[in-house]
A = this chain, B = another copy of it.
Amino acid sequence: MAHHDFTPTVYHTTLGPHEPVLTVEAGDTVSTSTADARGHDRDNRQVAPRGNPMTGPFFVRGAEPGDTLAVTLERIVPNRAHGITSPRIAPGVLDPGTPIAHTEVSECRWLVDATEGTARMIEPETALSGVPIALAPMIGCLGVAPAGRQAISTATSGPHGGNMDYRGFASGVTVYFPVCEPGGLFFLGDGHAAQGDGEIVGTGIEISMDVTFRLDVIHGESIHWPRAQNDTWLMTVGNARPLDQCVQHATTEMLRWLESEHDLPPIVSHSLLGQCVEYDLGNVFDPAYTMVCRVRKDLIAQVRSAL
């Protein structure tokens, strides 16, 4: 259970079978940093290319195709005092033909105060400038090398994870990915100090981060889509277009989870989800959209104790 402090020097804008930057044992933790979506680091230096440059990949010894990689996000903290957002809701999120508003500003600047736990939009100065938004740091893009020796842009997502922009990928969550390459090859980046559902302006409050995470391997268990859990929820993730298909992938994966690992018979899994499931929206901006299916763990525990 070693701990590794890792300072990135190379960054990737695809998730693929790239040369590992660090090899760890299952159970190890890593503290590292991520550049922001435009490749700027804690000192606002351009250290990486634009377009969600990733820190990684991290090779986990013993992780083999068919296994599942478990990534516990232990700590996600903005490491500088400003973030950047886009000023306009993306045309694809509005009714076709909606006029494009206010073209004068191409980006907004936010003051991020980690002590106070707030962000304020300070440029341009508007009525919003005096309104503190609560920080809710999250990782926008994380995942593993995809199946079939593909290398897929960090602008999008798939069964391997990627640019999901889900607010639930915050401190305290464990995210699971299918291992497709030896070592799993885990990548992360695209941190947001806060973000609305859907990332509808095309950005959260884009910022560089200090991150600590633990890497584990579940041998011999394979999953079809990313899964996650925190203290309260089991979550499954569908990445596709349209959102209807995200719902299909995420719900089908949740059924698999409840029926195989949690031993619920179908009549129970279907009825429990039918009356208790919730859905969250990841991004509705990227080439693939994201929806998350979730169910409370205490309910599942109660049902299991009655089996």
How many copies, total? Answer: 4
A173-215 interface with B by 8 A CB criterion:
194-201, 203-205
Given contacts A13-B148, A242-B244, contact A267 B98 (CB under 8 A): no
Nearest to A266 among chain B residues (CB) is: B101
A10 sits at the interface (CB 8 A): no
Q: A272 contacts which chain B residues (CB < 8 A)?
A: 128
Q: Are A127 and B268 in contact (CB under 8 A)?
A: yes
Q: Are A264 and B197 in contact (CB under 8 A)?
A: no
A126 sits at the interface (CB 8 A): yes
Interface size class of A (residues with CB under 8 A): 35 or more
Q: How far is the CB of A260 from chain B (nearest CB, A)?
A: 13
Fill in one digit per residue for A259-287: 1 if any B CB lies within 8 Å of its CB, else 0: 00000111110111111111101001001
A112-170 interface with B by 8 A CB criterion:
119, 121, 124, 126-131, 133, 147-153
Q: Are A266 and B102 in contact (CB under 8 A)?
A: yes
Q: A255–B121 Cα gap in the complex (Å)?
A: 19
Q: A93–B270 Cα gap in the complex (Å)?
A: 12
Interface on A for B, CB 8 Å cutoff?
Answer: 13-14, 16, 51, 85-98, 100-102, 105, 108, 119, 121, 124, 126-131, 133, 147-153, 194-201, 203-205, 240-245, 247-249, 251-252, 255, 264-268, 270-279, 281, 284, 287, 289, 299, 302-304, 306-307
Task: Pick from B90, B101, B196, B247: contact of A275, CB below 8 A.
Answer: B196
Q: A272–B277 Cα gap in the complex (Å)?
A: 28
Q: A245 contacts which chain B residues (CB < 8 A)?
A: 241
Q: A97 contacts which chain B residues (CB < 8 A)?
A: 90-92, 100
